[in-house]
């Protein structure tokens, strides 16, 4: 194997003026973990939902998992832009994530409620990341977290509206 293929990634020192890059990157990695798990869960529910709301839930979740899949890349690239390494092991994703699986196969209503709850968890985590960036000269991460929070808040609202009685 050539030397170019033996290069192992290491954290870098980035001199953009952002303070506490390790702490911010850790917060981003937590959000990335939740995003990755929620992307999978949303996709799995998308595949398996049944019942009278099938088409509505199927289409809504498709847009949501596509958005989150793209966001995962953006979050990981922000971590790298801060000179830190993004998570590289599924065990790291599972350990960091607050998104959990239900113990039983859920009904369509339970799927929707579960996803709404997870979007709210992620919005809360993003609010904490916004607070973490305060005073640390990192408007880029703050803007990213604000944008992602708006998505998750809207997703939770749309899901809850779907099952409102």
d(C-alpha 123, C-alpha 120), whole Å: 5
* Per-residue pLDDT, 9: 86
CA nearest neighbour of 142 among 153, 152, 133: 133
* Per-residue pLDDT, 2: 67
| C-alpha separations of 51 from 47, 56, 64, 90, 121 in Å | 13, 10, 20, 33, 27
d(C-alpha 108, C-alpha 50), whole Å: 6
How do residues 34-88 score in pLDDT, each as one tens digit?
A: 999 999 999 999 999 999 999 999 999 999 999 999 999 999 999 999 999 999 9
* Per-residue pLDDT, 7: 84
| C-alpha separations of 18 from 32, 83, 122 in Å | 20, 11, 24
> Residue 8 — very low, low, confident or very high, per pLDDT cuts 50/70/90?
confident
> Residue 135 — very low, low, confident or very high, per pLDDT cuts 50/70/90?
very high
Domain map (residue ranges) of the chain: 19-94+106-163
* Per-residue pLDDT, 3: 79
19-94+106-163 fold: Ferritin (1.20.1260)
Tokens 């803007």 correspond to what residue? Answer: 143
* Per-residue pLDDT, 1: 56
The pTM for the full model equals 0.94
């Amino acid at each position: 194997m050539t030397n170019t293929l033996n290069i192992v990634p290491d954290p870098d020192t980035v001199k953009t003026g952002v303070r506490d890059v390790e702490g911010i990157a850790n917060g981003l990695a937590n959000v990335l973990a939740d995003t990755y798990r929620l992307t999978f869960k949303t996709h799995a529910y998308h595949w398996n939902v049944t019942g009278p709301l099938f088409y509505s839930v199927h289409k809504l979740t498709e847009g949501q998992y596509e958005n989150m899949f793209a966001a995962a890349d953006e979050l990981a690239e922000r971590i790298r832009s801060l000179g830190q390494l993004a998570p590289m092991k599924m065990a790291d994703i599972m350990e960091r994530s607050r998104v959990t699986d239900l113990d039983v196969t859920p009904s369509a209503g339970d799927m929707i409620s579960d996803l709404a709850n997870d979007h709210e968890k992620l919005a809360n985590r993003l609010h904490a990341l916004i607070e973490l960036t305060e005073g640390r000269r990192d408007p880029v991460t703050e803007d990213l977290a604000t944008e992602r929070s708006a998505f998750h808040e809207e997703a939770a609202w749309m899901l809850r509206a779907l099952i409102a009685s």
